[in-house]
Amino acid sequence: MENFRTFENICNLLRNHSYKVTPQRQTILHMFVEHVDRHLSAEEVYMLVKNENPEIGLATVYRTLDILAEIGVLIKNDFGDGRTRYEFSRKDEHHHHHHLICLRCGNVSEFDDDLLESLEAVIMKRNHFKVSDHDLKFYGYCSKCEGAQ
């Protein structure tokens, strides 16, 4: 994944939206830059950052994640496990990438091939409906869990 979201770019984006770049937000941002491939819940973010900055509270993590999603740095995902997960948005994507979700271990991986473009063209032609985005999730079992069923 092309990571156009450098720490400095995100800090500037926060400032441009009239948000302060507090030490707590910096710690959370550094954690996301270090774990760019992961789809993290607020609780997972909290567990990762509290080791570095023990005074950060869970409410601060939630507020920061909401702000980062509001300004387009993060995307909120619902994978059906009762927790919102966050990941970096991709500047170069027309559509969101897709997710493969293991029903046993909960692992989430990304599937980048967008095979739905031809379906969108058919939808537009037949229904006179221009699709601006879609969200696709595949639920099943990863290679580690497949044999354990």
142 is in an annotated binding site: yes
Domain limits, CATH 1.10.10.10, in the chain: 7-88
User: Among residues 105, 84, 27, 96, which one has the least CA distance to residue 60?
Assistant: 27
**pLDDT score for 127:** 93
**Fold entry, domain 98-146:** Dna Ligase; domain 1 (3.30.1490)
User: Among residues 100, 117, 118, which one has the least CA distance to residue 109?
Assistant: 100
pLDDT tens digits, residue range 71-107? Answer: 989 989 888 778 898 988 865 555 566 788 888 887 8
pLDDT above 60 for 139: yes
Least confident of 5-14, 54-63, 108-117, 119-128: 108-117
**Contacting residues for 33 by C-beta, under 8 A, at least 6 apart:** 3, 5, 6, 7
3-state secondary structure of 143: helix
102 is in an annotated binding site: yes
Look at 13 and 146; give whichever has higher pLDDT: 13
11 is in an annotated binding site: no
Give residue 22's pLDDT band: very low, low, confident or very high (50, 70, 90). very high
Domain 7-88, CATH: 1.10.10.10
pLDDT tens digits, residue range 41-67? Answer: 999 999 999 988 899 999 999 999 999
Domain limits, CATH 3.30.1490.190, in the chain: 98-146
